[in-house]
Amino acid sequence: MTAYTCPSLARTSALALCVASVALSKLPVSMRLLKRDPSLPSEAPGSAGAGAGAGARGRPENYISRDALGADRGGRREGPTCPEPGPGPARMASPAVFPLSCVVQQYAWGKTGSSSEVARLLASSDPSVQISEDQPYAELWMGAHPRGDAKILGSQKTLGQWIAENQDCLGSKVKAAFHGKLPFLFKVLSVETALSIQAHPDKELAEKLHLQAPQHYPDANHKPEMAIALTSFQGLCGFRPLEEIVAFLQKVPEFRFLIGDAAAAQLQQSVGSDSQAVASALRRCFSQLMTSEKKAVVEQLDRLVMRISQQVCAGNHMEDVLGELLLQLHQEYPGDIGCFAIYFLNVLTLKPGEAMFLEANVPHAYLKGDCVECMACSDNTVRAGLTPKFIDVPTLCEMLSYSPSPSQDRLFHPARSQEDPCLSIYNPPVPDFTVMKMEVPGSAAEYKVTALDSASILLVVQGTVTASTPTAPAAIPLRRGGVLFIGASESVLLRLTVPEDLLLFRACCLL
């Protein structure tokens, strides 16, 4: 059996240069179930987690020579080289690696019972948990958000409380940049019915909205987020190319009726124009749709649904007007204006391992499937359809980025590590978070999760291991669904106890 390892990154500067050489580890954790409060909405905003830390004296204990990695695989993207590590910060006395008991959110849009990946992870990590087949299991929260603060397994202390007492666990740069708080929230989502048509504000708008309406916008932070598919995962993301929208205006008269002939003509005339003219025409059309009278929306939607249903019954395929998706959304949200959004927004279907990154002001909606999600520490979401919750159409229409692009441009591609053949890194253009995916073959005897100058949270999606670390008093058994908190400057050695492939995801902050 082969041991997969990756050179350690000791200094902060080395870490920044060596993102592609960082290996992820998998860490199991049992999870506690948060019962749904009927007063809570059916969909949750994102927020932040927390971390723990420790450093190493001189050459780090987890340093492995480049030769120990074995032969490199061909065909991967070139990544940065790793400078020789040097002295690190002094190690904290308290253990900074421990399993977590995480919170499951039971929002109404979640998959029910054992059809939910969230429920399956929960049951695998904690066999004492009984899954209710008629209950939704929508989200697993791994972090320190007040609405779902993880508990340290075997303790009454929450992760947020522990981080507040041990802020050095975050890493020096993260601690300074994010005021002693972990800047990300890590999740698993299992989506059965569509989430709302929404966007997240940038920091400037978030501050303004928080001052004006704190009951709807509870903090002043932005909320970029990234979804990585675990199964086939469908969502809406960003505006389509103008040519596609114009084609739908011609093929779907009910859609054109709500937009109006004048706005539709302006959009058609803007094809090939400069970005300012395109944005102006697109803003006008989208605003016309989203501010349509409810009665007109219901009438036109009923007419479209009847027409598509009749054609389908006659044996005709209606994919040229997205007939199947339109009927699905109408069944989930009858008479909702958001059903027409499919003619404005790209429809993306991600394969496992593929990702979409959603920066500020990009319209989107998750439709169906299971994914890992990571986001900045924020609760701010502006909604305008496919939801029974508070909607803010004027703000959404004003804030959106009206920049059309093809659906393939919305895919976010990871970088393959040159140093570690098991490691892929999803490093979005925001400082708040990075996600690492590790795929370790079952033939490996062990896998080294290298130290970072950041606290991190590791999720075991597949496999069974024991986790050892210099600061832990004993090895930690981890299996599918386990979650491990890893403080800054801590390395973890995973020993495979069952000869099956490992799939791990690790969220961190690489400044």
Query: Using one digit for the tens of pLDDT, what is the confidence trace for 451-504?
Result: 999 999 999 999 999 999 988 789 999 999 999 999 999 999 999 999 999 999
| pLDDT above 60 for 58 | no
Q: Judge if 224 and 245 occupy the same domain.
A: no
Question: What is the rounded average pLDDT of the residues 167-185?
Answer: 96
Residue 361 lies in a domain: no
Please state, in angstroms and as integers, the Cα–Cα distance from residue 299 to each residue in 258, 287, 326, following that order: 10, 19, 15
- Count Cβ atoms below 10 Å from residue 43 Cβ, excluding itself: 22
Per-residue model confidence (pLDDT) at position 95: 78
Rounded-to-integer distance, Cα 511 and Cα 502, Å: 27
The pTM of the full predicted model, rounded to 2 decimals, is 0.82
Q: What is the dihedral of CA 298, 302, 304, 306, to 10 degrees?
A: 180
Per-residue model confidence (pLDDT) at position 215: 81
| pLDDT above 80 for 55 | no
Position 292 confidence tier, pLDDT thresholds 50, 70, 90: very high
Per-residue model confidence (pLDDT) at position 221: 78
Per-residue model confidence (pLDDT) at position 487: 98
For 309-363, list the strands marked E by DSSP: 345-350, 355-358
Residue 406 lies in a domain: no
Task: State both tokens at 181.
Answer: 């708080």
Residue 139 lies in a domain: yes
Residue 25 CB partners (closer than 8 Å, separation 6+): 438, 447, 448, 449, 458, 467, 484, 486, 492, 494, 504, 506
Rounded-to-integer distance, Cα 372 and Cα 385, Å: 24
Residue 350 lies in a domain: no
- Residue 414 sits at φ, ψ, to 5 deg, of -80, 160
Rounded-to-integer distance, Cα 229 and Cα 371, Å: 4
Residue 359 lies in a domain: no
Per-residue model confidence (pLDDT) at position 46: 37
Per-residue model confidence (pLDDT) at position 147: 85
Active site residue: 11, 383, 416, 506, which one?
383
Residue with tokens 């990946």: 117
Per-residue model confidence (pLDDT) at position 471: 80
For the question of residue 383 being annotated catalytic, the response is yes
- Give, to the nearest 10 degrees, the angle between helix 261-270 and helix 242-251: 150
Q: Specify the number of domains making up the chain.
A: 2
Position 36 confidence tier, pLDDT thresholds 50, 70, 90: very low
Position 380 confidence tier, pLDDT thresholds 50, 70, 90: confident
Q: What is the CATH number of the domain that holds 259?
A: 1.10.441.10
Tell me if residue 43 falls in helix, strand or coil.
coil
Q: Which residues of 400-434 are buried (b: 16+ CB within 10 A; e: fewer)?
A: bebebeebeebebebbbbbbbbbbbbbbbebbbbb
Rounded-to-integer distance, Cα 434 and Cα 425, Å: 7
Question: What is the rounded average pLDDT of the residues 340-362?
Answer: 97
| pLDDT above 50 for 362 | yes
Per-residue model confidence (pLDDT) at position 5: 43
Query: What is the number of H-type helices and E-type strands within the chain?
Result: 12, 26
Q: What is the dihedral of CA 357, 363, 368, 371, to 10 degrees?
A: 20
Per-residue model confidence (pLDDT) at position 85: 37
Q: Judge if 147 and 220 occupy the same domain.
A: yes
Please give the span between the terminal C-alpha atoms of the chain, in angstroms, as a whole number.
Answer: 35
Per-residue model confidence (pLDDT) at position 99: 97
Q: Which amino acid is at 155?
A: S
Residue 348 lies in a domain: no
| pLDDT above 70 for 413 | yes
Question: What is the rounded average pLDDT of the residues 311-318?
Answer: 92
- Count Cβ atoms below 10 Å from residue 511 Cβ, excluding itself: 18
Residue 219 CA to its chain's centroid (Å): 19
Rounded-to-integer distance, Cα 131 and Cα 481, Å: 14
pLDDT digits (tens, 9 = 90+) for 70-85: 333 333 333 333 333 3
Q: Judge if 187 and 260 occupy the same domain.
A: no
Position 433 confidence tier, pLDDT thresholds 50, 70, 90: very high
Q: Judge if 207 and 134 occupy the same domain.
A: yes
Task: State both tokens at 386.
Answer: 């496919």
132-141, 204-213, 253-262, 339-348: range with lowest mean pLDDT: 204-213
Residue 375 lies in a domain: no
Q: What is the CATH number of the domain that holds 28?
A: 2.60.120.10
Q: Judge if 225 and 247 occupy the same domain.
A: no
Whole-number percent of the chain with pLDDT over 90 = 72
Q: Judge if 218 and 258 occupy the same domain.
A: no
| pLDDT above 70 for 308 | yes
- Identify which has the larger pLDDT, 218 or 290: 290
Average pLDDT, the chain: 85
Residue 35 CA to its chain's centroid (Å): 22
Of 341, 376, 357, the C-alpha closest to 427 is 357
Q: Judge if 172 and 278 occupy the same domain.
A: no
| pLDDT above 50 for 442 | yes
| DSSP bridge pairs for 422 | none
| DSSP bridge pairs for 370 | 190
Q: Judge if 260 and 211 occupy the same domain.
A: no
Per-residue model confidence (pLDDT) at position 78: 35
Per-residue model confidence (pLDDT) at position 472: 79
| pLDDT above 60 for 38 | no
Residue with tokens 């005021």: 179
Per-residue model confidence (pLDDT) at position 504: 99
Q: Judge if 287 and 199 occupy the same domain.
A: no
Domain termination residue (choose one: 343, 372, 392): 343
- Residue 263 sits at φ, ψ, to 5 deg, of -65, -40
Q: Judge if 289 and 256 occupy the same domain.
A: yes
pLDDT digits (tens, 9 = 90+) for 135-173: 999 999 999 988 899 999 989 999 999 999 999 999 999
Question: What is the rounded average pLDDT of the residues 361-388?
Answer: 92
Domain termination residue (choose one: 343, 367, 384): 343
Q: Judge if 188 and 55 occupy the same domain.
A: yes
Rounded-to-integer distance, Cα 47 and Cα 60, Å: 32
Residue 128 lies in a domain: yes
Domain termination residue (choose one: 295, 310, 343): 343
pLDDT digits (tens, 9 = 90+) for 91-122: 445 679 999 999 999 999 999 999 999 999 99
Per-residue model confidence (pLDDT) at position 62: 32
Residue 497 host element (H or E):
none
Q: Judge if 294 and 217 occupy the same domain.
A: no
* Residue 483: domain span: 2-231+413-508
Per-residue model confidence (pLDDT) at position 87: 42
Task: State both tokens at 417.
Answer: 């590590």
Residue 90 CA to its chain's centroid (Å): 33
Rounded-to-integer distance, Cα 278 and Cα 258, Å: 20
Per-residue model confidence (pLDDT) at position 509: 98
